[in-house]
Structures are given as structure tokens and as C-alpha cells.
Amino acid sequence: MKPSVFRPRPARIVCAAVFLLFLGALVLWAQADMTGYWAFRVTDGGVNFFQLQQTGDAVTSVAPAGRGGGPGRGGTLAGTLQNGKLHLVATSAMRGPAPAPAAGAGRGAAAAQTRETVYDGVVENANRIAVTMTGTGREPLKGTFERVTREEAYPTRIPPPDLQDVPDNGLVRTPPMGWNSWNKFQDVFDDATVRGMADAMVSSGMAKAGYTYIVVDEGWTSGRDANGNIVGNGKFPNMKALADYVHSKGLKIGIYSSPGPQSCSGKMGGGYQGSFAHELQDALTFAEWGYDYLKYDWCSAGNVYSNTTEDNRGAYQKMGEALLKTGRPIVYSLCQYGSHDVWKWGAKTGGNLWRTTGDISDRWDSMERIGFANIDIAPYNRPGHWNDPDMLEVGNGGMTADEYRTHMSLWCLLAAPLMAGNDLRTMTDETKSILMNADVIAIDQDRDFKPVERLSQEGKSEVLVRPLSGNAFAVGLFNRGDSPAQIGFRWEALKFDTGLYGFRRLQAQDLWKHEAVPTTGDSFTATVPRHGVVLLRVSIAGGRGF
């Protein structure tokens, strides 16, 4: 009998090699390696990118070289990856709203705040970790850490295109009117919410009053498919069907994107997909789905363009040209918070409206600051191209009825876009009376646009005047002070066209009280409540006066 000699057979060699490789992989994973670029994607939410470094079990985020770490780039992380379990804590604020903000509180209010956010996860494989994110004052959010390329996390900056004027699309000869989801819902809303708003727009009478565009703001995308097409997330599974529904109500529909790689950041955390490097593709998609309006929000564009007028203009021009190429009439709404005097060049990018300031919130001081700051730039308005002092907060509950009447009166005198920002399904009669005051809306929508002017300003009292078609004037007596004030003006300050026959008898209507006011004497004076307004329409009795 031959002594048995162990002879490795080929199959055994293969098995041993595979086993060793497997062990090796395990050891490698045990030493772990989160070193590299990662996206943290919230399920149906936004994304934040991190560059991570792992030493032993310790994981920390790396400050991006030469980058400011803008929106969508997450905060500073530190923690551990041990036995397939991830525990990371963000010690500085990610760009986003404060914990549990009051309804309508925009990001602006919270920019300086920090918060602690904790990511606890279980490793699924070397490139993916399932995570629950918790933070002070917020509901836990599910998401994943996914390994990405450097380019995906930190796209290369590109130069803007050569500047040229984009032709006028001929839309919105009077300021657009509609509803936008952001002020009330931020990014916590879905397809059903939007359909409900379209229903309510019609049933409440808002549509009859002129409100037309239902605009889906940040929160609808999940990213791109294999062909690079932008797609909706679980809350917005079929953006075309949503557009069809809104159209079936006789309304128009708007959508939201960014010239940057990601949008800003909502309650869900992180930025949603932006249109950077896919401008024409996205414009064609929006047109194919049937969208009539695009709000295009700067957000993370500062990570790929420089913060200059040329780059701002170039980034907006790209999408303006793309929208025209679709052949579909799409209102183009610029949102870059009024930087670089956008009112001087917004129309050249094809823009129909442009935000002139940072975000409004549902508070008197915010609305007052933004509204009155728009008076001096009112002459930049012209049919088809409008200054946008931001969406309305009327009905969101943070201001008194007098303050909301001031808000509505001021926006209409400014010829501002009127985008309601409240829940149209649950409006009180008072809210309806403010949003649907036909005489006040008529000022906003006057067919012969002429800019509002400041007739007088004394302490906290201001009188604003806007010439209207048909030889009439709108006059707003505003009390920005904290106690009631007597405010007045002389009738002769209104420069009526009196024709050959000289001055005629005037007639004046108080547009909130719905009653005539006496026009006898040289002047008109009223007691205006704190933060309130008296709004008049003054015309020549018996016709145009000549």
C-alpha cells in the first residue's frame, strides 16, 4: 500500500484561494474603508456629499480642499465604523432649516444655527450603508450612505457660456398669479397635496380671481435614471400624470430646479437633484411632461460657478435658452435672492420674474423689510419681466389680518407676482377676503404697467402711489409703526390728466372697506392701525375727465 501523500488537486487550490480572498476581504472590511467620497441620500429626500477619512475605526469628514462646502455638502462628521456598524455625529449645522421650524419659517431664519445630527447605520456592502438619521427636534429619517466618485461629490467648476440676450418668450404680460408649495410645506408634501391644492384653487374661487399656476417647489426629485433623465421620488411618482391632472382643472403647473448640481435643502435634509450639466435635457423633460413654469433656484450653483454677475447671468441664460428650444411656452422664474442687481439683467436671460431678496417668512418684520425694499427698484418692472419679492404668506398664521392686508396691498402696488403660499384647502373667510379682493388684484394686474412711487414718508408712515390705466391712481397709506397713526395726502398730489377742462371732481373707494370715501376738501386723512394700510382707488368722477 502506497503511503498516502497529500496532493493538492486543482479544485482544492481554487477553493483555498477563494477562501483566502474572502478572508482577505473580511479583514479589509474590518479595517474598513470609508475613506473616499460618499453621498448620504434621504429616502424621498435630498442628498449631502461628504469626503470621509478612516483611520482604524475612526471616521471623520475631510474639509474639501479649496471649497467652501456649500449647500448639499453636509457638515463636519466624526464617529466610528466598528463591526459593520456606523455611528457618525455631525457637529456643525448642515445647511437647512432649524430643527422643527414654525410653518413658513424659511431657511434664512436658521442659517446661523448649529445642530447635532446622528447617523446610525449597518453596512450592506463596501459601497452602501443603510442609515437612520436622527437630530434634535426632527423625526428620524431613513437613508443610505453610498460611495460616489469625486466628480459626483465635487463637480468641476466650469466657465459660464458667452453672454447673449435670450429673446423674450412673450409670456406673463401682467404679473403671474398662482400657488407655490414652499412657504407652507417646505419639502414635506406629495402628489396628493398638489392635486388637493389644484382642486381647492378652483373650488375656493381662487382660479376665478386669477390665480393660475400651481408650482411644485423643492422636494420632487430623487435624481437621474441610467439615461441621465431627471426623475421624481416616491412622493412624486409620475410628474406627467400630475401635470395632466392640474391641466384638467383648467390650471397651469410649475416645477422647480437649480442651475447647480443640487437644489437647496429642505426639512428632509440635503439638496435635491439640480439641472447642472443637464439643462437642455431637463428643459425637454419638463416640456414633455407638460410643465408651464420653471422656478430655477441658485442654491448649490456657487459650487460650480463663480459668484460674479457674468456667471450668474450665464448660468440663467443656459436654462433660458434651453426653455426656448423646447418650443413650449414656459414661464421662467429666476431665484438667486436678488444678488448682482438681477433686475438689471434678469430679462436678458429670458427671465419673466426674478426674486429680489432673500426668503420671506411669515413674520411682520420679514415681510415689511422685503416689501418696502422693493419700491426703489419698481421701475425695473415691465410687462413680461417682473421683480419678485417672494411668495405670499397670507393665511399662514404668523401675522395679523392688518399685516396680511398690508402684505397684499404692498405686493399689488409693486406689481409683484402673486403666488399664494398657504394651504388653499383650509382657508378662513378672512384669508379668502384678502387673497381674493378683486379690486386689489386689479391694481397688481393693471394692463398699463406704471411703477409705484413714494409720495411721502414721515417716520413710520408712508404714502405710496401707483398710476393706473383709465386715468386713475392707487394710493396706499401705510403705517409701519407700532401704534395707530393719522396718515394723509393732498388730492392735488395725484397728477391726473385733466385735459382741456381743468380739474374735475374726484371719486375714491376704500378697497378694503369696500366703501366710497369723501373727496371734498384739499386732502384725505385716515387713522391707520398699527402695521396696517388704507388702500384707495382714486379716479375722476363720471369718466376719464376730459
Catalytic residues, by residue number, are 297, 359
- Determine contact, residues 224/230, Cβ cutoff 8 Å: yes
Element (H, E) at 321: helix 309-326
Which of 154/185 has CB closer to ligand GLA? 185
Work out how close the CB of 300 gets to ligand GLA at its nearest, in angstroms, rounded to a whole number.
11
As a whole number of angstroms, the distance between CA 354 and CA 294 comes to 12
Per-residue x/- marks for ligand GLA, 353-392, CB under 6 A?
A: ------x---------------------------------
Beta carbons within 10 angstroms of residue 329's beta carbon: 15
Of positions 335, 408, 440, 463, contacts ligand GLA by CB under 6 A = 335
Distances from the Cα of 279 to the Cα of 154, 229, 273, 332, angstroms:
18, 11, 12, 13
3-state helix, strand, coil in the chain (%, to 5): 30, 30, 45
Beta carbons within 10 angstroms of residue 308's beta carbon: 11
Which of 183/471 has CB closer to ligand GLA? 183
By CB under 6 A, the residues from 94 to 133 that bind ligand GLA are 106-107
The amino acid that residue 52 corresponds to is: L
Choose one: 188-196, 234-242, 262-270, 534-542; the region binding ligand GLA (CB under 6 A): 262-270
Q: Which residue has the cell 373727496?
A: 519
The amino acid that residue 423 corresponds to is: D
Choose one: 38-46, 171-179, 261-269, 403-411; the region binding ligand GLA (CB under 6 A): 261-269
As a whole number of angstroms, the distance between CA 377 and CA 92 comes to 37
Work out how close the CB of 262 gets to ligand GLA at its nearest, in angstroms, rounded to a whole number.
10
Work out how close the CB of 298 gets to ligand GLA at its nearest, in angstroms, rounded to a whole number.
8
b/e for 389-406, b at 16 or more Cβ within 10 A?
Answer: bbbbbbbbebbebbbbbb
Which of 218/462 has CB closer to ligand GLA? 218
Q: Provide the β-strand partners of residue 129.
A: 123, 145
Contacts made by residues 498-502, CB under 8 angstroms, sequence distance 24+:
498/540, 498/545, 498/546, 499/544, 499/545, 499/546, 500/546, 501/545, 501/546
Work out how close the CB of 96 gets to ligand GLA at its nearest, in angstroms, rounded to a whole number.
9
Which of 359/423 has CB closer to ligand GLA? 359
Work out how close the CB of 182 gets to ligand GLA at its nearest, in angstroms, rounded to a whole number.
4
CA atoms within 13 A on the CB side of 377: 21
Of positions 44, 190, 191, 217, contacts ligand GLA by CB under 6 A = 217
Choose one: 147-155, 263-271, 447-455, 536-544; the region binding ligand GLA (CB under 6 A): 263-271
Which of 356/381 has CB closer to ligand GLA? 356
Contact status: 213 vs ligand GLA (CB under 6 A): no
Which of 252/267 has CB closer to ligand GLA? 267
The size of the chain, in residues, is: 546
Which of 242/392 has CB closer to ligand GLA? 392
- Determine contact, residues 300/258, Cβ cutoff 8 Å: yes
- Binders of ligand GLA: how many residues, by CB under 6 A? 12
As a whole number of angstroms, the distance between CA 93 and CA 494 comes to 52
By CB under 6 A, the residues from 294 to 333 that bind ligand GLA are 297
Choose one: 131-139, 258-266, 460-468, 534-542; the region binding ligand GLA (CB under 6 A): 258-266
Choose one: 264-272, 301-309, 342-350, 522-530; the region binding ligand GLA (CB under 6 A): 264-272
Please give the residue ranges that form the binding site for ligand GLA (CB under 6 A): 106-107, 182, 217-218, 263-266, 297, 335, 359
